């Protein structure tokens, strides 16, 4: 048996995954509302086809053969990694009964459509039965996958390989011990920036132009992607030459779309930077969702909310929105760096953002371990927001219904956002050491220098390495919260004190 046969078969599966991604993109952007339920059946059929091919006797033969020690040791590093990823996926997915997997996929497609309606109506009761069905399947899958210490580990593995609930709790405890007192000092002793200049009427067409401008500055390749509007911004890759981003426009707040565009653009740069030699291979992907989030948070925050970036980009913003022409750059920079506990995760600031993730992680872990039920989620959510952020939740649209993830069955994903913040700070610290004039290059609008560093150090490898190994390869150190805390302390102390 030749390795080429293994790749040919997996490339056929990858083509069905591209088709599924295209259906998913359409469902979340351009699809007419009346098509939702029938399109969910189409998504389910594609997912079932991918499932069947990935668990077929032919795949079982590949897995058995290429994992034989004498065969495996002769493979190249890339071939061995592809075999490893396929084997891991095969063993997880083949543990699930095919009919259950198809029904789960259909439940998620329908659930996301109902979630959109429920969010608009702030009606959790409407979404509740769909979420109960999704969570019910996930609890079954956990038992099929198996786990050692915590049921949540079985789901976390899909998003952050080799990370455990125990690891996360240790990271959170260390981060919380420094972060919470710092937030208290900022909000109680510091002088908050004036954000009144950010209020106004920002027409959608001008915001669309701004999104295109900022993506172009970031070196996003529009010949290999596009930007569209959606209810909850996301990025989706459909192989080489097609990586699409989305954003969401608010006429009273242009910063929401601006920073979500930069965030999704960071994801897209990662996807566009994976080596084309890995086309349609299992490693043509990110190392993990946490590493993926590190790239998006770098562009959204470490670049997008930096003084250096706005020295370059502020004139462009002023040309699109003339109301900013009389605003001093420093005043704008401080305004976009307000630190204040808030309700909406994707609009929260760099300092308080991780508290939102801690809330979601604690709820997910409790839900999967049967400590709480789906019906309890609104009440538990509101209690934790009060506990962590000190604010009252006015309705479910601004609370438990604000995120899309649960409707798509993505329980275990949220910790990747916090890990992404930590990875991002550690990567960026290394980038500044290796590119001593990086801040100056950003001021001059040469964002390509950072993009190229990311591409050489991170992007091109795809999923060749586990996240822990990649982090050490790039920075020389295991994950530490100190880089993030040093960054926010230096930046926000200068703004607030």
Dihedral angle sign, alpha carbons of residues 420, 423, 426, 430: negative
Angle (CA) 344-162-351 rounded to 5° is 30
Token digits of residue 372? 């709480």
**Is 334 in contact with 494 (CB distance < 8 Å)?**
no
Residues carrying an active site annotation: 264
Q: Taking phi first (over 0 means left), then psi (-120 to 50 degrees means alpha), and beta for anything else, what does residue 113 get?
A: alpha
* Residue indicated by tokens 């040791």: 73
Dihedral angle of Cα 76, 80, 83, 84, to the nearest 10 degrees: -170
The continuous run of DSSP H or E covering 128 comes out as: helix 124-145
Contact between residue 360 and residue 410 where contact means Cβ atoms under 8 Å apart: no
Helix, strand, coil percentages for the chain (3-state, nearest 5): 70, 5, 30
* Pick from 219, 265, 258, 215: nearest CA to 243: 265
Give the distance from CA 274 to its chain's centroid: 17
Q: Exposure pattern of 278-289 as b/e (b: 16+ CB <10 Å)?
A: bebbbbbbbbbb
């Amino acid at each position: 048996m030749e390795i080429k046969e293994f790749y040919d078969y997996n490339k056929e599966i990858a083509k069905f995954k591209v088709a599924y991604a295209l259906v998913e993109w359409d469902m979340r952007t351009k699809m007419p509302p009346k098509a939702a339920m029938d399109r969910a059946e189409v998504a389910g059929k594609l997912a079932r086809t991918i499932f069947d091919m990935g668990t077929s006797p032919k795949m079982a033969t590949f897995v058995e053969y290429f994992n034989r020690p004498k065969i495996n040791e002769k493979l190249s590093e890339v071939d061995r990694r592809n075999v490893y990823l396929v084997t891991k996926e095969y063993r997880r997915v083949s543990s699930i009964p095919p009919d259950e997997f198809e029904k789960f996929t259909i439940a998620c497609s329908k659930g996301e459509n109902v979630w959109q309606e429920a969010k608009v109506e702030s009606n959790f009761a409407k979404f509740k039965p769909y979420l109960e069905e999704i969570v019910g399947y996930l609890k079954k899958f956990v038992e099929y996958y198996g786990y050692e210490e915590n049921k949540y580990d079985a789901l976390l593995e899909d998003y952050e390989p080799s990370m455990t609930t125990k690891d996360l709790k240790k990271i959170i405890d260390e981060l919380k011990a420094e972060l919470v007192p710092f937030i208290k000092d900022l909000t109680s002793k510091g002088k908050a920036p004036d954000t009144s200049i950010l209020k106004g009427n920002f027409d959608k067409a001008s915001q669309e132009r701004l999104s295109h401008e900022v993506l172009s500055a970031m070196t996003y390749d529009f010949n290999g992607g596009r930007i569209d509007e959606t209810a909850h911004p996301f990025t989706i890759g459909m192989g080489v030459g097609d990586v699409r981003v989305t954003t969401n426009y608010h006429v009273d707040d242009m910063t929401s779309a601006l920073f979500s565009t930069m965030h999704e653009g960071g994801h897209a740069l990662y996807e566009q930077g994976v080596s084309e030699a890995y086309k349609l291979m299992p490693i043509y992907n990110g190392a993990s969702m946490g590493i993926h989030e590190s790239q998006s948070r770098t562009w959204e925050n470490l670049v997008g909310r930096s003084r250096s970036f706005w020295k370059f980009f502020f004139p462009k913003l002023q040309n699109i929105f003339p109301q900013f022409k009389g605003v001093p750059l420093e005043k704008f920079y401080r305004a976009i760096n307000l630190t204040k506990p808030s309700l909406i995760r994707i609009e929260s600031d760099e300092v308080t953002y991780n508290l939102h993730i801690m809330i979601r992680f604690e709820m997910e872990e409790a839900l999967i371990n049967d400590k709480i039920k789906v019906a309890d989620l609104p009440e538990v959510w509101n209690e934790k927001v009060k506990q962590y952020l000190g604010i009252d939740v006015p309705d479910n649209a601004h609370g438990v219904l604000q995120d899309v993830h649960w409707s798509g069955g993505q329980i275990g994903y949220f910790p990747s956002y916090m890990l992404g913040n930590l990875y991002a700070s550690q990567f960026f610290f290394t980038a500044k050491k290796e590119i001593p004039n990086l801040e100056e290059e950003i001021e001059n609008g040469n964002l390509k220098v950072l993009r190229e560093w990311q591409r050489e150090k991170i992007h091109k490898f795809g999923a060749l390495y586990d996240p822990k190994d990649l982090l050490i390869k790039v920075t020389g150190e295991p994950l530490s919260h100190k880089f993030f805390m040093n960054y926010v302390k230096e930046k926000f102390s200068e703004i607030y004190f």
